[in-house]
Structure 1
Amino acid sequence: MKGFIDKEAEASGCEEPPTIEQTRECPLTTDDRDTTDKLSKAFSGAFGDESLPNIPISTASEDFLDLATMIDKPYCFLCFGGIDQET
């Protein structure tokens, strides 16, 4: 990433190279397996098996999990999407 940022700075005519300082970080999201299984069963029962496409597990970094871990609760980060019924 730094090479990209340096090239952007160079292309825009910056007189000095950019300074990059990390100010925070978010841990990797690791869903609770039991919570994920319960959610999957509920969605499948309500919307059918086709409602749960085979989407690969993501190792997203997200501050969402801080809400659950602060109170020592399991969590499942879920992405929701929809399409027109005729599609």
Structure 2
Amino acid sequence: MSGAYSDPKPATQETQEIADKVKVAAKEKVGRVFQMCKAIEYQTQVVAGTNFKIIVQVTDFPQNLEIVVFRSLKDQFSLTSATLLIMEKP
């Protein structure tokens, strides 16, 4: 369905590769130094291309990182947003 994000799915190798492509831009956007480790899950949104909302584990912080990456119809990738998520205590 156009416009809505898909249900969350476990990350794939493709999702990890997309996250790796925008690693430097994500660090700059958040304004902190950290290591992006592993994509955990993702959602997609069909627009004039595809948005990927990816949850990534990071080191050095107890938070995960949510990144939104746009893939154009010409298969070019750009970071739209990067947000450190507040982790709820059990």
Structure number with higher relative contact order (C-alpha < 8 Å, ≥ 6 residues apart)? 1
Considering fraction of residues, name the structure with more helix: 1
Larger Rg: 1
Considering fraction of residues, name the structure with more strand: 2
What interval of TM-score do these two structures reach, taking the shorter chain for normalisation? 0.3 to 0.5
Q: Give the TM-score normalised by the residue count of structure 2.
A: 0.32
